[in-house]
Amino acid sequence: MRILLTGATGFIGSAVLARLKADGHEVLAVSRSAGPAARRLAPDRWIALDMARASQPADWTPHLQGVDAVINCAGVLQDGGRDSTAGVHVRGAEALFAACEAAGVRRVIHLSAIGADRGGVSSFSATKAEGDQALASRDLDWVILRPSVVVGGAAYGGSALFRGLAALPFLPRTPDAGPLQIVQLDEVVETVLFFLRPEAPGRLALELAGPERLGFDEVVAAYRRWLGYAPAKRAPGGFLLPLAYRLGDLAGAFGWRPPIRSNARREIVRGAVGDPTEWTARTGIQLRQFAAALAAQPASVQERWFANLYLMKALVFVVFAGFWLATAFISIGPGYERGERLMQLAGAGPLSGPSVVAGAFADLVIGLGLLWRRTARLALWGALGLSIFYLIAGTILLPELWAEPLGPMTKIFPIMVLNLVALAILEDR
């Protein structure tokens, strides 16, 4: 079959893409930008299309020629940066569904979210519900799948957060979190493939929920056991979580996609539960309990590295951006006169003052660049290059700095190493 797959670089979408290719299907993969995924994943064709902006059927029609089925895995947690819940879940989805109807593409499999049909508690679930209604109103053989919290061998979003929390030396309590029915990624993928069959039923919506209800803390504790860590002491998290959600919203405004944001809080409070009876009856898929699924794939050292680094990543970028911003403000503030004297000692003469200002401006640009997700990689390379420049220029012009007791030159090396670490952990998926 020739299949158009949206959200192809996402957590669920990339797993669906891999399975489709393994089964011999021709896949047209839609993503806002493929990036590194273009080298990791191998669809038959990449289509660079921002679903939030593809709000007219004409935006989709050229890509539906000869297509037998459409799988919509596109989704965003919260508005921010370039993300729009209404753009992706409603306007872009409506345009895609209308284009499918006009082009005669009958089968459309749509990934929604559990609980979306019970009333939206956030812009995420509310817009998901609108997208579901838009599809159900079309004359198509539609299938709406509403998965609960999805976990698997890969990790992104909530599944990555579980691992990050599990690596902490304490287990933060989440007293207001609702119950969860964890579902496995491979079971979701298997369901998508089932409904691609010509004989599979259509015009139905299914809840994809795991076979057991677990508390948020239970899930984190299970991941901790899986990682091989001793039980952690429980710590109150009620006073920290509101701050974490606000910081997550702030990061989202700068284009980052942390899993801890206001929409996540609202969805966590409601919980993610459903009835898997019709799902298993329709497909025959045997659902695994959460602990059994973890035990079937023992954690490797790579998993422990990821878990330990996951929450550290935010700290690395906050500290690193703060460092460059602080050096900029110090250079043009309380440290200006000392900086000017150092430049005069280096022989800069009348250019001493402008040199200090230029250095401060470069530091400022790098610090601001590190705060924005879209410019973070470029800023990291700029920071590395500027550090090397400072090292070489300082050695040539002021070699006596190497003898300074506070080690201004030797401290450049750990800064460069932190820079390389930040580059190594920049990607989210």
The string of pLDDT tens digits covering residues 344-397 is 988 888 999 999 999 999 999 999 999 999 999 999 999 999 999 999 999 998
Residue 159 in domain: yes
161 and 21 share one domain:
yes
Average pLDDT over residues 219-231: 93
Give the residue from 299, 326, 351 where a domain finishes: 299
289 and 318 share one domain:
no
328 and 364 share one domain:
yes
273 and 344 share one domain:
no
φ, ψ dihedrals at 366, nearest 5°: -65, -45
H or E element, residue 387 = helix 376-397
Decide if pLDDT at 278 tops 70.
yes
- Predicted local confidence at residue 239, as pLDDT: 63
Question: Where would I find the beta strands (DSSP E) of 156-264?
Answer: 170-172, 183-184, 204-208, 233-235
Q: Which residue has the higher pLDDT, 110 or 237?
A: 110
138 and 283 share one domain:
yes
Residue 304 in domain: no
162-199 pLDDT per residue, tens: 999 999 888 877 778 899 999 999 999 999 999 999 99
* Predicted confidence band of residue 418 (pLDDT cuts 50, 70, 90): very high
176 and 276 share one domain:
yes
CA dist list (Å): 13 to 31, 103, 149, 357: 10, 23, 15, 48
Residue 270 is part of which domain span? 2-299
* Predicted confidence band of residue 101 (pLDDT cuts 50, 70, 90): very high
Give the residue from 248, 271, 299 where a domain finishes: 299
- Predicted local confidence at residue 156, as pLDDT: 86
Share of the chain above pLDDT 70, in %: 98
**Lowest mean per-residue pLDDT among 160-169, 259-268, 336-345, 365-374:** 259-268
- Predicted local confidence at residue 265, as pLDDT: 82
Report whether 305 contacts 182 (CB < 8 A). no
Give the integer Cα–Cα distance in Å for 67 and 70. Answer: 8
Residue 309 in domain: no
Residue 271 in domain: yes
Give the residue from 299, 332, 364 where a domain finishes: 299
Give the integer Cα–Cα distance in Å for 86 and 355. Answer: 48
Count of structural domains, the chain: 2
190 and 270 share one domain:
yes
- Predicted local confidence at residue 237, as pLDDT: 62
Residue 164 in domain: yes
CATH number, domain with residue 47:
3.40.50.720
* Predicted confidence band of residue 238 (pLDDT cuts 50, 70, 90): low
Residue 78 in domain: yes
Q: What is the mean pLDDT of the chain?
A: 92
Decide if pLDDT at 408 tops 90.
no
- Predicted local confidence at residue 422, as pLDDT: 96
**Lowest mean per-residue pLDDT among 19-23, 186-190, 217-221:** 217-221
Average pLDDT over residues 110-115: 95
**b/e sequence 31-60, b meaning 16+ C-beta within 10 Å:** bbebeebeeebebeebbebbbbebbebebb
pTM over 0.75: yes
Residue 306 in domain: no
329 and 273 share one domain:
no
Residue 328 in domain: yes
Give the integer Cα–Cα distance in Å for 285 and 358. Answer: 63
282 and 319 share one domain:
no
Burial classification of residue 251, based on how many CB atoms lie within 10 Å of its CB (0-12 exposed, 13-18 middle, 19 or more buried): buried
132-155 pLDDT per residue, tens: 999 999 999 999 999 999 999 888
300-310 pLDDT per residue, tens: 999 999 999 99
Give the integer Cα–Cα distance in Å for 128 and 276. Answer: 20
Average pLDDT over residues 43-67: 95
35 and 114 share one domain:
yes
329 and 290 share one domain:
no
287 and 378 share one domain:
no
φ, ψ dihedrals at 70, nearest 5°: -120, 135
Give the three-class secondary structure for 170.
strand
